[in-house]
Structure 1
Amino acid sequence: MTQPKVIAFFPEASYGAALNCVGIAQELRRLGARPVFICHPGFRGVFSEYGFPEYQLQPAGSDSQTDWTDFINRHQDAFRQTPLEQVKSYVAPTWEAIVDTAIAAEEPLRQLLAQLKPSAIVLDNVVMFPAIANAGVPWVRVVSCAETELPDPRVPPYLSGCGGEPGPEWAAFSHAYAKAVAPAHKRMNAFLAECGLTPLPLSQFLENSPFLNLLLSPKAVRFERENPLDPQKFVYLDGCIRQEAPYTLPHFASHQDAPLVLASFGSLGAMDVSMIKRMIGVFETLPYRFIVNVGPWRDEYSRIPDNVFLESWFPQPSIVEQSSLFIHHGGNNSFCEALYFGVPSLVMPFCWDGHDNARRAQDAGVGRALDRYRWSDGELAASITGLLDNPALHDTLATNAHAMKEAAGVTVAAKAILDLI
């Protein structure tokens, strides 16, 4: 009897990438493969909860979860800055930390891959791990950040939050970005050379896979590229939504039959308790129901309005499906889930590709962008009401949602991976 093919997934230590990979893995399992997950210690249990084997990657002398939490605590003031200001204060230090992680993970990752003997490796990350390129099996790059991660003359610079047409704003950001990340990029290329790999182009930390590259970007927000991607090696998934158990909505003491709004800012954004409390103060004045993801800081909230429900974690797709509006930070997973279920987005970004998705939501007419901190109560209330009371927008989003479901991104991804082996 033929043994199932082992597909090793290695997502970065973020819930967006991790749960996106879960969706693909669920479909691979349904099709008869054996997906397994290589994960950082801080993600212990995330994948086994969905029934997948987990293999912990523990770089020598590192507590990755503690190190990352400390890093965010040191740099969270940068979340109040513009994307251009963040290049020096947040983006460059983040790349330095990411390169450190890749170097420290190399030997334990090489040993683990030798033990697992996968038929293919799926990498959902922003940095190259030489052990994957040197494993002797096909590897797949998943672009679960914004499509801006793959450069093109007609695509705004990655992490810039720029829109419109190429011009001075794009050039200024690209110049500042290249200068700021140059030291980390130099270290990364030296590391790649030590491992027998070719250097990467300026400002890039991960090469395209020569086998297969999967992009989440739905057609509604996709860019028109000057240099089209080869459809044989670059496959758009139109989203990639995991299967979750149904979620029964709580009973609200007021506005029980009103439209539902979900607010969730990811694992990093939930730490900003004071900002979320300020938002809840606005929610209390509106005739809607609100579910708010507050992460592990649930005990910091003593007074909760009757039309607001707080929790530390939710099966997000199951709630987005029942919502009329999704307020989020612009993480690509959240953005794609909103589009998949035909829900408008109010994007309040604070870092990384959230800036790109906020601008794209507004430019593509599928939502609005709002500065994370510089808003008045009236502006937040008007943004929420305007997105909810917009029949034309909801019709457009419903049409797009139908197309995304018909596209069956997880099935497309799983079959493309199986075709490699």
Structure 2
Amino acid sequence: MPSGTPAPALHYALLLFADFGHIAPTLGVTRELLRRGHRVTYVVDERFAAVVEETGARAVTYTSARGDFYRSADPTADQLAEDGYRLLVDTVHTVFPTAMEAFAADRPDVVLYDFETVAAGRVAARLLDAVPVQVCPSHAANESFSMRAQMWDADHPVMAEGAKVMIGFMGEHGIRLDEMARYGAEWDLRNLVFLPRAFQIEGDTFDDRFAFVGPTFSEPPADSARWTPPGDGRRVALVSLGTEAGDRAGFFRQCAQAFDPAGWHVVMTLGRDSDPAHLGPLPEHVEAHSWLPHPQVLPYADVFVCHAGMGSLMEALHYGTPVVALPRAHELALSAQQLERCGVGRALPRTGLTAPALAEAVAGLLADPGTPAALARMREAVRTAGGAVRAADLLETWAAGRHAVPAAG
């Protein structure tokens, strides 16, 4: 349904993994849906209720078993498998019943879910007779590219236990054995991907089941309070490892040492629950914040040093800022490698990182004659993908034509 065409008021439900990086890409879509007169309900970990409610959406909360998932710098195969199993159990034993209770008397028309909430989202959509839509905060998967294979060893014994949980859960809710492969697939018939096709791994292999709408964040209003650069001609480096706090003081001190105070001003965002005082005294060319919206700094930044979270990367590429990525684990390393393939960044391992190595990576990236053109191409791809408006258009279209084969592009 084209943007601006009145649509019947609908109810959209979101069942998402308990991580800010999974929730944040949907907030712009939620604001757009609410602006059009729809209702939006999140089934969300209690820690993220406030950020959801700030949009005007309703938050139905639970307490996630997520714990310290994603905080380990170098998880073993056993840790990855155990974490994945624990999260699967959490989605079917906690997220799913919470959603079904919340929607028993208030059925949604569309259920959106992500890679980590496949079981709960798809079964809930079936039982509620809602349109299922998979959202992808990171790279999507299809017949050619598997995120699951990249993250988990299919032969690990814990994966077999997870398969038993899935089969039991689906069977309990009336899904036949011959249907289970479709319900356990890594993608759906309708998929919203919050990055441009140009940044998707093996992007040319994805068909019209996948809508690459790009990031959905809004630029800061012109009259809002904004960070301003020092104004002395020095380059600006933005440094962050994402929104969540952790034991990162050593990393940030290394970054402070990597940038020459004569030529650089460094802005650090440490994590929403962090205290800059824990870093100890910092050089005069470094400022540290618990958090600062990156779109305030990126228009002025010459480089962004980050963990390769997709939200951070999309913000950087929206402004044409090159990235030095220091991935922690999981799919972040894939995104860091994709930066290099696209010519818009460099990847370094977090383990064994030194200030000279980081300084060398930054210098090499900025000196590469191909970097500006590659950044311009990716900036254009990000800015023309459609964002929240296109995502909302598609959701309305998919809801209206619920029994049709979707076309996304």
Shorter-chain TM-score bucket reads 0.7 to 0.9
Q: Which residue does 1:95 correspond to in 2? A: 84
Aligned-residue offset at 1:68: 3.3
Unaligned runs of 5+ in 1: 162-172
Q: How does 1:13-412 map to 2 (within 5 A)?
A: 13-50=18-55, 52-58=56-62, 63-64=63-64, 67-69=65-67, 71-72=68-69, 76=71, 78-80=72-74, 86-89=76-79, 91-102=80-91, 103-128=93-118, 129=120, 130-147=123-140, 150-153=141-144, 155=145, 158=148, 160=150, 181-197=159-175, 201=181, 207-210=186-189, 212-224=190-202, 228-231=205-208, 233-245=209-221, 246=224, 248-249=226-227, 252=230, 256-268=232-244, 270-283=246-259, 285=261, 287-295=263-271, 296-298=273-275, 299-412=277-390
Q: Which residue does 2:404 correspond to in 1? A: none
Q: Distance in 1 between matches of 2:388 and 2:89?
A: 32
Aligned-residue offset at 1:40: 1.2
Per mean C-alpha deviation after superposition, the further-off stretch among 343-352 and 32-41 is 32-41
SS at match of 1:240: coil
Q: Which residue does 1:169 correspond to in 2? A: none
Unaligned runs of 5+ in 2: 1-5, 400-409
1:340–1:405 contact (8 Å) kept in structure 2:
yes
Q: Distance in 2 between matches of 1:355 and 1:28?
A: 33
SS at match of 2:66: helix
**AA in 1 matched with 2:99:** L
Q: 1:4 aligns with which of 4, 9, 17?
A: 9
Aligned-residue offset at 1:352: 1.8
Residue-by-residue CA offset, 1:387-409 (whole Å, 9 max, x unaligned): 23445312321232123212322
2:43–2:98 contact (8 Å) kept in structure 1:
no
SS at match of 1:410: helix
- Cα distance 1:39–1:342, how it changes in 2: closer, same or farther (>3 A)? same
- Cα distance 1:351–1:373, how it changes in 2: closer, same or farther (>3 A)? same
- Cα distance 1:198–1:382, how it changes in 2: closer, same or farther (>3 A)? farther
Work out the percentage of aligned pairs sharing the same amino acid. 20
Q: Distance in 1 between matches of 2:135 and 2:90?
A: 19
Q: Distance in 2 between matches of 1:19 and 1:250?
A: 24
Question: What's the Cα RMSD here?
Answer: 3.0
**AA in 1 matched with 2:372:** H
Q: Distance in 1 between matches of 2:29 and 2:143?
A: 27
- Cα distance 1:345–1:288, how it changes in 2: closer, same or farther (>3 A)? same
Q: Distance in 1 between matches of 2:340 and 2:299?
A: 21
Q: Distance in 1 between matches of 2:262 and 2:81?
A: 40
SS at match of 1:106: helix
- Cα distance 1:152–1:247, how it changes in 2: closer, same or farther (>3 A)? farther
Q: Distance in 2 between matches of 1:412 and 1:32?
A: 16
Q: Which residue does 2:402 correspond to in 1? A: none
Q: Distance in 1 between matches of 2:9 and 2:171?
A: 35
SS at match of 2:129: coil
- Cα distance 1:392–1:33, how it changes in 2: closer, same or farther (>3 A)? same
2:343–2:374 contact (8 Å) kept in structure 1:
no
Q: Distance in 2 between matches of 1:277 and 1:117?
A: 51
Q: Distance in 1 between matches of 2:14 and 2:241?
A: 25
1:256–1:289 contact (8 Å) kept in structure 2:
no
**AA in 1 matched with 2:137:** S
Q: Distance in 1 between matches of 2:27 and 2:282?
A: 33
Aligned-residue offset at 1:111: 1.2
SS at match of 2:304: strand
Q: Distance in 2 between matches of 1:188 and 1:286?
A: 57
Q: Distance in 2 between matches of 1:256 and 1:160?
A: 45
Residue-by-residue CA offset, 1:289-321 (whole Å, 9 max, x unaligned): 221111222231221222211111222333333
Q: Distance in 1 between matches of 2:94 and 2:9?
A: 31
SS at match of 1:263: strand
Aligned-residue offset at 1:237: 1.4
Q: Distance in 1 between matches of 2:381 and 2:142?
A: 26
Q: Distance in 2 between matches of 1:2 and 1:411?
A: 14
